[in-house]
Amino acid sequence: MAAGKKIIPALVNAAIFILMEVAALSLLHNNGRVQNFFISKWMHSFMAKTWGAAENVRYYFSLSGMNEDLASENFALARQVDYYKSLTGAEAPSGLTEVGDYRYLPASIVKSSRNKQHNYLIINKGSEDGVTPRSGLVSSCGVVGIVDAVSKHYSYAISFMNTEFSVSARLGREGSVGPLVWDGKATDGAVLGQIPLQQKFAPGDTVYTSGYSSIFPSDIPIGVVGDSKVVNGATYEIKVRLLQDFGALRFITVVSNKGREEISSLENREDD
């Protein structure tokens, strides 16, 4: 009788526990959908406004460093423009928002996380500015993330510093292509995998985007090669030091492939 009295509360506790854990796990499992449904509607706006104010204070105190970076970037770009002008004799087009198959939109980060294994970014451009889910985020120093959900004025993006993020990268301008993923530790560390053993490379070589996706254009420099090791006797795994330090990131560019829908519909047709 006493044992029965103990068993019933234990069963009730176990049932409630299982119910709550199943609910939590389903939230975890459907994380992307939850973000799309709940967070993108008003939580992103709330977070962007609330936490963004505090981020602005931090940015204010790092303005001098950013100015130096922007000035040196500006100088490098001006030199490139002069070089191409001297080659072609043509003036640069005034509207640079569309180049080739891609549309570019400048944006700034209002909130970002850097200390998790699933980091994210919130940027100050949304659907009203033409941002769509699956747009890429890049900076002058590499790949930053992919837009996951958009609200009217803000977008929620999965950062490169996320265990679920992988970008197709090429070793050098014409080398082998493999997936580049964040190393999970440093704000400027990544790992390039699946590089064939016959591929020649040296520490200091540059890693670029391959263009083998409908999200990022090709030949954006991402990082430089560091140490490497052979995995399973079949491929190289190469440590890459990212050119973009995510700890100091503020201004980015949203990249949208104008032909992405067409590519997706082709892929879907192939899948069917």
Partner 1 sequence: MKQNFYLQYVLLVVAQILICNFFHFTPYVTLSILPVLALCVPVKVSTPAGLMIAFATGLAVDFLAEGVVGINTFALVSVALVRRGLVRRIFGEELIVRGENFSVRRAGPLKVTFAIFLVQTLFMVLYIWADGASARPFSFNLWRVVASIAAGVLIGFPIADMLTPEDRR
**Can you give the binding site for partner 1, defined by CB under 8 A?**
9, 12-13, 16-17, 20-21, 23-29, 31, 34-35, 38-39, 43, 47, 51, 54, 111, 113-120, 163-164, 184-186
Closest separation in Å from C-beta 26 to partner 1: 8
Q: Report d(CA 184, CA 176) in Å as an integer.
A: 23
Q: Report d(CA 120, CA 146) in Å as an integer.
A: 9
Coil, strand or helix at 141 = coil
Closest separation in Å from C-beta 267 to partner 1: 25
Rank residues 19 and 63 by Cβ distance to partner 1 and give the closer one.
19
Phi, psi (degrees; rounded to nearest 5) at 118: -120, 80
Rank residues 11 and 76 by Cβ distance to partner 1 and give the closer one.
11
Q: Residue 211: name the closest of 199, 220, 198 by CA.
A: 220
Q: Report d(CA 45, CA 153) in Å as an integer.
A: 8
The token pair at 258 is: 């104008």
Rank residues 172 and 189 by Cβ distance to partner 1 and give the closer one.
189
First-to-final CA distance of the chain? 61
Under the phi-then-psi rule, with left for phi > 0, alpha for psi from -120 to 50, and beta for the rest, what region is 165?
beta
Closest separation in Å from C-beta 90 to partner 1: 46
Eight-class DSSP state of 80: H
Helices (H), 38-139: 44-61, 63-88
Closest separation in Å from C-beta 53 to partner 1: 12
Closest separation in Å from C-beta 105 to partner 1: 24
Q: Report d(CA 106, CA 127) in Å as an integer.
A: 14
Closest separation in Å from C-beta 97 to partner 1: 31
Rank residues 241 and 260 by Cβ distance to partner 1 and give the closer one.
241
